[in-house]
Amino acid sequence: MRLDMIFKHPNGLDELNDRLVSNPRFIFYLYKDTGRDKRTRLSRLKGRYIWRHKRQGYNGVIKLIKDSGRFWVEIDDQSEGLLTGAFISWIIRNANDLVAGIDMRL
């Protein structure tokens, strides 16, 4: 599944990832950070973060990707929709000040 995200700020994906890392009580955790390489100026245009859910039944990964001003999420949900629902509800509850809209494509 693919979700296109529209952020209110140009660096919204980095702020979203920082918000996740700042609070260890959230249900997701940062599995892999292939985000910004701060040695170049063009690195702020590209990045990838991989999140996972902390509970056992929510199998799969969430890839948050940015490339040249476009942001999207690829969800590999192996738990019959539980991971997708948990991610969307987490965005609504904890990051509604960062995200302006979500476009879902199956």
Number of domains in the chain: 1
Half-sphere exposure of 62 (CA within 13 A, CB side): 26
Highest mean pLDDT: which of 7-21, 35-49, 88-102? 88-102
The pTM assigned to this predicted structure is: 0.84
How open is the CA angle 80-92-105, to the nearest 5 degrees?
50
* Residue whose entry in the numeric block shows the structure tokens 């245009």: 45
- In the chain, the percentage of residues whose pLDDT exceeds 70 is 90
The parent domain of residue 40 ranges over 2-105
